[in-house]
A and B are shown apart, each in its own frame.
Chain A
């Protein structure tokens, strides 16, 4: 596999459920990101991990909990979400230095009911 892979592609969950989104990058990058994309709004940064350390946390509610066990994997753990959390969740990776363009996965379309 190449690039950035996200699973699942689609997720429907109730407000009391707990679920996790998974992201895996095969590009040898050392920074990984979670973005949220809602209709009619720009991509919103949620979390940045650099060398497996969280370096940015953009005032995201605690019902979203990231985990980065190594430089290739990133998770977003979800619990007690609200309907307004329904969105496309995008994972990206990049290098820290040199060419720093981010490459994105296909996203997880999350619907909270």
Chain B
């Protein structure tokens, strides 16, 4: 069974205080690992896809990295508008028959001015 564990559950940062969110995963045959941002009452917004260990992706103040067991979402000099819940999800290889994403519980990030 695919499993995704995110930590911490909640994180409060001061504006400009960099930090990292962790996503540990177990999946037999990784097709891809995905990061999403979700604002309250809205659907998740796609951020990144990572396919293989060692891969990195960047977007503005966010940088996602991947190893064989975990992924990190690094937030550099965050701003209040970065406050949201960040979700990690994994997808198994297509030939396993498991086509949908398995999500973690998310990290609720609050950035204070």
Chain A residues close to B by CB (< 8 Å):
4, 6, 31, 33, 40-43, 45, 48, 50, 55-56, 88, 90, 92, 96-97, 99-107, 109
Beta-carbon contact of A42 and B105 below 8 Å:
yes
**What interface size band does chain B fall in?**
20 to 34
Which chain B positions have C-beta within 8 A of A100? 31-32, 49, 91
Would you give the shortest CB distance from A109 to chain B, in whole angstroms? 7
CB <8 Å contact, B43 and A56: no
B98: nearest chain-A partner, CB-CB: A56
**Besides A55-B99, A106-B43, 8 new A-B residue pairs in contact (Cβ under 8 A), listed by A number:** A40-B105, A43-B87, A43-B103, A45-B102, A55-B97, A96-B99, A100-B49, A104-B36
Q: 16 A-B residue contacts at CB 8 Å?
A: A33-B100, A40-B105, A42-B105, A43-B87, A43-B89, A43-B101, A45-B100, A45-B102, A88-B41, A90-B44, A96-B94, A100-B31, A100-B49, A102-B34, A102-B46, A107-B43
